Amino acid sequence: MKDQVVLIVGGSGGIGQACAELFCKAGAKVVLAARNREKAEEKSKSIKKLGSEIHVIEVDVTNLASVSDMAREIDEKFGGIDVLVNAFGTGIIQPLLDIKPDDAKELFDVNVFGTFLVTQTVVRYMAEAKKGSVIMFPGILGKSVMRNTSVYSASKYAVTGFTKALVEENKRSGIKFSLLYLGGVATDFWENPKVEMRVQKEKMLTAAEVAKAVYYAASQPGQSVLNELVLQPESHQMV
């Protein structure tokens, strides 16, 4: 991964930060994009202390101008984007009849429209360069469902379908797509009051474990590609 440009969107979260540290250690040029720039900057300080090259950009994934500016700035500074890690998203785990329509709309705006907007924008650059890797996080709820996840699972199934269609659309383009179906990960996702689910974080995957899977997907050599990977804690298995 030496000198490859890795864009991690959702850079203020636990998974994004863990991925950034791993890619930096491998010699990549890492860009953290987040809505909360100050939070991303604060969390990146420990990585910068390692002497790694890491940059932070503010972005609103639901805003075309913001996403376009982000991609253009990275392209002008580094000459392209080799890896896109879409590590952003929001959640709702509530009974259908309890979900506020405005909350559902916000979730679809971020998880579905945001994923579309960021991916379309970055893939334009990758298509021109005829190379690139895109890592998606539909999570296990983009493959299987559980109680009270109707709206959240709908958004994640959309990411799954979107990505699988892109594989067909981009054959022989040089762009690789990976879907990571992750089980419960111990992040601040579970602190969201709209996620009404009691969990035991100590039994979940760690962000560092997830980062290893992301790195493995992004570093596949030559023509090989990791299309799908299911990674779950032993106590939370779903098939």
How many CB atoms lie under 10 A from the CB of residue 102?
8
Structure tokens, 43: 């969390």
**Cβ distance 223 to 28 under 8 Å?**
no
Q: Does 216 participate in catalysis according to the annotation? A: no
Residue 150 in tokens = 């109707």
Residue 204 · residue 154 · CB < 8 Å: no
If phi > 0 it is left, if psi is from -120 to 50 it is alpha, else beta; for residue 98 that is alpha
How far apart, in whole angstroms, are the C-alpha atoms of residue 65 and residue 221?
34
State the catalytic residue, choosing from 152, 157, 181, 216.
152
Residue with tokens 């002008």: 76
Name the nearest CA neighbour of 118 among 21, 34, 192.
34
Helix (H) or strand (E) holding 231: strand 228-231
Active site residues: 152
